[in-house]
Structure 1
């Protein structure tokens, strides 16, 4: 949760030290523990420090050693391994950024692939006159940049880039179109600002005065298979890897560690594993859980399961009551920090959660994010068995799932057959593509706008996921093709207001690779998905949670509270400035609000929410070409 900034004038123009400091100042909310810059001729690097590891207490960035200068926002998890290879002492006074610098000195462009953890960094190599940058495997740490023939400018948040003269502040209308079509799941690089890019996860770049090299250093091997001799071996290895992934993320100078506890399998597994690590070691840590609860929405409330996890532990529980928290709660403050429209209904809830975390003196929180995708629900297993003519096995699997989930097996089979016909035989790209009138969504977006963007037809929720007939191909898609980094970036900026860092054990590279390579029988068995996680949690989790196959929908209150926001909806359709009219048909949007379609079909809620956020963003941002000179 620190911040990095930088400028490289490729034609030799000297960097003004005051300019790099102005970039830092724009991100001062992220790093209250120190602000430093380094400038030499046509290169400048900056850093805002937030102490999130014990080693960071001894760290000052940018850091210089001989001809290498580094700025970084990083937590390196394989310090012990690197220490042996690089002949570095793995002690608290040696920072994570020093490990990165030494890794670059030893391996050059291959260094990011040698690192584990969450990181975004830039190294200026004086000898080679190269600015080398890299982002972690899943894009947990944010990194934005602008590059042209004259300069390369980067920062942890987009707002810092606009301090540099010549960086354009123009809206990217293609990105707006994709957002309105709810068709931006795979947008990893394009931002809402023209020519401002999000540095893609698992990539590095090497920038010189006349060349720009971008290269992917890691991707999940689609053919990866892990074979062991027994269930016990699979379980023990996964327990070891998962425990280490949680343990790495407990590194903090703070005695208090937060965990996001929803009561589901994933967050409960992280919580109980963290608690056991602390109990079995000499770590002087306290676990504080944070949970959303609902008094007026029993179908959203998970208190029963949350309290089951907390029973008999030393975990200090904290609750956020969410019944009356609107998605637009504190929206002005949120938009002051957010550089782009967000897509989450949970803005209001997260804001209240972070305020509570801050009041309790915490700046680290572990989450269960990614468990569904990484360990895998294996949704397509029955379809895969049917199309591969393994019908007896398909029948037994379907029978087991129907018993566990308490659903009619013939209805379940019918749904699976429809799924096969619709997406694999007829290849219909999206369910919403065939929605009957009235009010198909495509009527809400202005056709001339789409034509100007080169989009022939508005297709919603178009997803290559539909083409994945096997469980493995579906898991690959969900892990590698969906832009998780967009979610990380949004969450990171929510948290930056309160200097809070999220950590995600399920997105550890080791966990991802191991789970992906497992045989399907370790992922779904006896009617249960995520079988291996449920098994290793035997004895750690209460049975009611370990065997859960459903979870509550915490979004119901947010949607109800959104529907009550009539004032902003009326403002959008009556605003004399009509700042959004070139993108959407205001008369149709008015009908959308008036006829209560928001209460009936989920896609309308998502679409209405995106209109609101894009409108508020357009209203707040002053778009122009930045011609400031320094």
Structure 2
């Protein structure tokens, strides 16, 4: 929606409000569309001109000037809320509705919301302020306290850069650029004094107190043991369809990510139905155009074509150019996930698209695989079902399941790829702090604990934080319908024996996709897209000369002093000579991420 940036005076009696812009160093300043300074509450809104919002979509203040609501995001169940609490009133804008709900229910109104939002409330009646983030963390929000002010921003990287200018970024945060590493702490920011408002939490600030508290408690949701498989399918199908519907609006020009997978395909087709009047609906794929990859590889593009043809979409494929994409890595503001996404957003901008549907979050909930299922069947004494899933006629598979999915989680042994960790840590100087968050992410145990660990590991919002920042640079909003809070809560209600009733993995998403997805896509089981990966790894290899040209500057970056560049250079030579003894593609990804760490470190400290 928009990046918000501002502060609230914590002690108005002793601190005078400054009239001048306190954020001149923000890299968003050139896009400022609104700023307000009112009685100790100052904020700025940075909205890309391609996004269709009015000032009232962001801000509301009561007639007395005592209650102010600043918001980035949308409430999706607004009609239900109005009908329940204000049947005789008409609210055109969400901040006004939030103000009325807050006046009526206090901060407990958060329990009623379903949406993607970050909200700031300044309540001068009570002398309190609140910073609020939605249940799943779709919209980012961070804060810092300095000089009697509570600063806040949707962009926690820029917040740290502005407030703590010239300070070196935290090493553990820089490590987040490294993929598949087992000691990332997703709660960290680049500066220790900048804190994230966690998903499903609010920060309450008073003159002498700042506390962060949860308002959403999914761990308290109980399993519904009376639920049948058919009821689960019927309810989930309705929830997913409605989650897409309430995130659709004709004020946007929409498109969707499309892969050969279940999640993105289902979301894309359902979204297309909501935009039937839109003549061209683009399905963006990370797979390369047909002519740019070896046709002998297993090819997900055939599945993508089935989806886009059935839904009358226009397929758009991604050709990676080494130089263009190497330059994209120099965009230090984009700190996270897949740099390919910037190429998609550039295409969106070219085509006038400002809303992008994504299937992100499906793997963690509605389309979860068998993670935790065998554990539940074993300890729930549903051994008949367990043996149907893993028959004794396949002894190796049965023993592997019993050891790694039942015994190890039960005794607390994390399922870590130690061989990969040893390879990876070989590029770090010793000693190196190898803290892990095993207890949260790797000790899976039951399916219920798996869902909750995936929530509280916070890797889900990490990607969305990155896409929010990058999307705002290109005037594109994201929608993640499979992360609707109702879907997450319903998954926690479903007993594992219901999922075990089906002969295949990921049963719910397959069942609700009947008659929607092409049948070959619906029953496709592999996530491997060798054609895309071949194209991607080929791009990384072609980009190696660019890395070598910058190696001296990267090696001299003091923030990367924990890396063993001697070994890195030695292994570059082995890759070039074809004698590298490990996975060459993993090494190429590592070089790519070292470049990203370098660019972030350099850009973060720049003026």
Note whether the superposition's TM-score is higher than 0.5.
yes
Aligned to 1:589: 568
Deviation at 1:485, TM superposition (A): 1.3
Structure 1 unaligned spans of 5+: 403-407, 625-630
1:247-304 CA distance string (max 9 Å, x none) = 01112413x321111121111111222334556xxx7786432223323155474221
Residue 370 of structure 2 is aligned to residue 382 of structure 1 = no
Find 2:445's aligned residue among 452, 469, 483: 469
Secondary structure (helix, strand or coil) at the match of 2:193 reads coil
CA distance in 2 between counterparts of 1:212 and 1:417 reads 47
1:41-79 CA distance string (max 9 Å, x none) = 43212223458997x447264332132112210110111
TM-score (norm 2): 0.86
The answer as to whether partners of 1:71 and 1:121 remain within 8 angstroms in 2 is: yes
CA distance in 1 between counterparts of 2:110 and 2:142 reads 18
The answer as to whether partners of 1:86 and 1:102 remain within 8 angstroms in 2 is: no
Quick check: 284-293 or 362-371, which moved more?
284-293
The answer as to whether partners of 1:397 and 1:526 remain within 8 angstroms in 2 is: no
Counting only pairs closer than 5 Å after superposition, residues 127-166 of structure 1 correspond to structure 2 as: 127-148=125-146, 150-158=148-156, 160-161=158-159
Aligned residues: 591
The answer as to whether partners of 2:174 and 2:601 remain within 8 angstroms in 1 is: no
The answer as to whether partners of 1:290 and 1:320 remain within 8 angstroms in 2 is: yes
CA distance in 1 between counterparts of 2:439 and 2:590 reads 17
Find 2:354's aligned residue among 363, 366, 369: 363
CA distance in 2 between counterparts of 1:267 and 1:218 reads 27
Residue 385 of structure 2 is aligned to residue 393 of structure 1 = yes
Residue 263 of structure 2 is aligned to residue 266 of structure 1 = yes
Counting only pairs closer than 5 Å after superposition, residues 184-195 of structure 1 correspond to structure 2 as: 187-195=185-193
**Against the structure 1 CA distance between its residues 605 and 413, is the aligned structure 2 distance closer, same or farther, given a 3 Å change threshold?**
farther
Deviation at 1:365, TM superposition (A): 0.9
Find 2:213's aligned residue among 203, 212, 215: 215
**Against the structure 1 CA distance between its residues 89 and 617, is the aligned structure 2 distance closer, same or farther, given a 3 Å change threshold?**
farther
The answer as to whether partners of 2:153 and 2:159 remain within 8 angstroms in 1 is: yes
CA distance in 1 between counterparts of 2:454 and 2:48 reads 32
Quick check: 528-537 or 218-227, which moved more?
218-227
Structure 2 unaligned spans of 5+: none
Aligned to 1:118: 116
Residue 398 of structure 2 is aligned to residue 413 of structure 1 = yes
Aligned to 1:628: none
Secondary structure (helix, strand or coil) at the match of 1:73 reads strand
Secondary structure (helix, strand or coil) at the match of 1:152 reads strand
**Against the structure 1 CA distance between its residues 130 and 555, is the aligned structure 2 distance closer, same or farther, given a 3 Å change threshold?**
farther
CA distance in 2 between counterparts of 1:584 and 1:122 reads 40
Deviation at 1:151, TM superposition (A): 1.8
CA distance in 2 between counterparts of 1:289 and 1:385 reads 39
Residue 541 of structure 2 is aligned to residue 563 of structure 1 = yes
Aligned to 1:293: 287
Quick check: 323-332 or 355-364, which moved more?
323-332
Residue 483 of structure 2 is aligned to residue 507 of structure 1 = yes
Aligned to 1:15: 17
1:166-193 CA distance string (max 9 Å, x none) = 6773421343457669546763431122
**Against the structure 1 CA distance between its residues 434 and 233, is the aligned structure 2 distance closer, same or farther, given a 3 Å change threshold?**
closer
Find 1:539's aligned residue among 504, 515, 526: 515
**Against the structure 1 CA distance between its residues 358 and 598, is the aligned structure 2 distance closer, same or farther, given a 3 Å change threshold?**
farther
CA distance in 1 between counterparts of 2:201 and 2:437 reads 27
Deviation at 1:17, TM superposition (A): 3.4
The answer as to whether partners of 1:162 and 1:168 remain within 8 angstroms in 2 is: no
Counting only pairs closer than 5 Å after superposition, residues 303-342 of structure 1 correspond to structure 2 as: 303-313=301-311, 315-322=312-319, 324=321, 328-331=325-328, 334-335=331-332, 337-338=333-334, 341-342=335-336
**Against the structure 1 CA distance between its residues 301 and 105, is the aligned structure 2 distance closer, same or farther, given a 3 Å change threshold?**
farther
The answer as to whether partners of 1:181 and 1:460 remain within 8 angstroms in 2 is: no
Find 1:423's aligned residue among 403, 408, 419: 408
The answer as to whether partners of 2:161 and 2:604 remain within 8 angstroms in 1 is: no
CA distance in 1 between counterparts of 2:180 and 2:523 reads 34
Aligned to 2:81: 82
Aligned to 1:354: 345
1:460-512 CA distance string (max 9 Å, x none) = 78564432232222222223434311111111122222111110011000011
TM-score (norm 1): 0.83
Quick check: 584-593 or 178-187, which moved more?
178-187
**Against the structure 1 CA distance between its residues 482 and 62, is the aligned structure 2 distance closer, same or farther, given a 3 Å change threshold?**
closer
1:9-48 CA distance string (max 9 Å, x none) = 334323333315747x74257xx6x712221343212223
